[in-house]
Structure 1
Amino acid sequence: MTALEFNYSIAQTSKTLKPFAMRLTRNADDANDLLQDTMVKALNNREKFTDGTNLKAWLYTIMKNTFITNYQRLVRQKTFVDTSEDAYLINSLAYSSTNQAYNSLMMADINKAMSIIEEAHSKPFMLYYKGFKYHEIAEKLNIPIGTVKNRIHLARKQLQKLLTMYR
């Protein structure tokens, strides 16, 4: 394929690339930029195109890869990197403290709510909370697995109602 034939084929195919560019970018100006970048790359890499292969698929691949590269570049530009000397302190747990009083009050409220819930519902829930599987709870309590799931669900619902202050 001569350079003139290649340029003509690309010009004809570029009309079908515009909708694809719009789908990728969702912006008319960005789509035009992407289409232009694709055409420039195709013209610069004409020697890499093999005669007899699908020119349209080749251009679509160039466009998709160009879009991905531009997107990754944009994400990297928006990433903030703190280079200060004290950056190691930002995520350090050694210099942070937790409010144990808040945790103990929350646990007191949870235990109080659990005492209000029927034992038939709270017992399967507590076993599930401790890490038992549904079938293990069913065997341990000698009830069907569907009943276990239902009782755990009901216990969760009751806890949600009783602990609305923690939402």
Structure 2
Amino acid sequence: MSFETFHAQLLENAEFLKPVAMALTKDPEAAKDLYQETLYKALKNKDKYLEGSNIRAWLYTIMRNLFINDYRRSAKYASSVELTPNITNNTLADVNAENMMRTKEIKGTLYKLPLSFKKPLLLYCDGFKYHEIAEMLHEPMGTVKSRIHLARKLLGTTMSRH
């Protein structure tokens, strides 16, 4: 699909996004930003659009994902900001001591896990993506995801008993 054709199709179908953005954000300025960001991302990822598929559904998915990511980011930021002003030197020392004890307990429990669960979980904790772990361990990605999930579940169950 040529850029001109895609651009024309995008402009033809973009108008429906404005009320969707307003419904998601409930704020006119945030809705405008979300609308513009959606169109920018659509143009940037033109090559990922499959010609003949529903462009409105594709645009809606982009907008929804942008909104969810922004919401998560702002919620994470808000929770860290709320905690910061209340910390004093004494409570910080207590928190650090408690965190060190908890970390030691988690590491002890983690290393008791079977190797087939421990290895993928440690790689995941080191920041590797599922497909990278699958390549490193020469396992299918579904197996890696399953093992990481089960390892986290085992870790949680073991930790809750202590």
TM-score for both structures, normalised by structure 2: 0.52
Pair 1:4 & 2:7 matched = no
After TM superposition, give the deviation of residue 85 of structure 1 in Å.
Answer: 6.5
Aligned amino acid, residue 3 of structure 1: F
Q: Which sections of structure 2, spanning at least 5 residues, go unmatched?
A: 98-162
In structure 1, the partner of 2:92 is 87
Alpha-carbon displacement from aligned partner over 1:31-80 (angstroms, at most 9, x marks no partner): 00000000000000000001111101000000000000011111111122
Share of identical aligned residues, percent? 36
Deviant stretches of 4+, over 4 Å: 81-85
CA distance in 1, matches of 2:3, 2:90: 57
After TM superposition, give the deviation of residue 13 of structure 1 in Å.
Answer: 1.1
In structure 2, the partner of 1:61 is 61
Paired residue total? 93
CA distance in 1, matches of 2:43, 2:36: 11
Q: Trace 1:1-167 onto structure 2 (pairs within 5 A).
A: 1-80=1-80, 81-82=83-84, 86-87=91-92, 89=94
In structure 2, the partner of 1:146 is none
Query: Which structure's CA Rg is the greater one?
Result: 1
After TM superposition, give the deviation of residue 87 of structure 1 in Å.
Answer: 3.0
CA distance in 1, matches of 2:90, 2:12: 57
In structure 2, the partner of 1:95 is none
Q: Which sections of structure 1, spanning at least 5 residues, go unmatched?
A: 93-167
CA distance in 1, matches of 2:36, 2:10: 12
TM-score for both structures, normalised by structure 1: 0.50
Superposition CA RMSD, Å:
2.6
Alpha-carbon displacement from aligned partner over 1:139-159 (angstroms, at most 9, x marks no partner): xxxxxxxxxxxxxxxxxxxxx
Q: 1:47 to 1:89 in 2, by over 3 A?
A: same
CA distance in 2, matches of 1:49, 1:85: 55
CA distance in 2, matches of 1:85, 1:56: 55
